[in-house]
Amino acid sequence: MREYNPLSLDELGRNAVRALMAYTTDALPPSDSFDGAGVYTLHYQGFYPAYLDLGDEPIYVGKADPPGRRQGRRQVSQESSVLFQRLAHHARSIEAAQNLLLSEFSCRWLVLDPVWIGLTEQVLIAEYQPIWNVVVDGFGNNDPGRGRWNQRRSQWDTLHPGREWAFNLRDRGETEEEVIGAVAEHRQQRQR
Q: What are the tens digits of pLDDT across the range 131-163?
A: 999 999 999 988 776 656 678 899 999 999 999
Closest to 122 (Cα-Cα) out of 5, 12, 27, 6:
12
Residues recorded for the chain: 192
**Type and span of the H or E element at 41:** strand 38-44
For the segment 47-92, what is each residue's pLDDT rounded down to a tens digit? 999 999 999 999 999 999 998 655 555 455 556 899 999 999 999 9
> For residue 78, what pLDDT is reported?
54
Q: Identify the pLDDT of residue 79.
A: 62
Nearest to 186 by CA among 137, 130, 104, 143: 130
Q: How far apart are CA 127 and CA 14, in angstroms?
A: 9
Q: What pLDDT, on a 0 to 100 scale, did the predictor assign at position 151?
A: 84
pLDDT of residue 69: 55
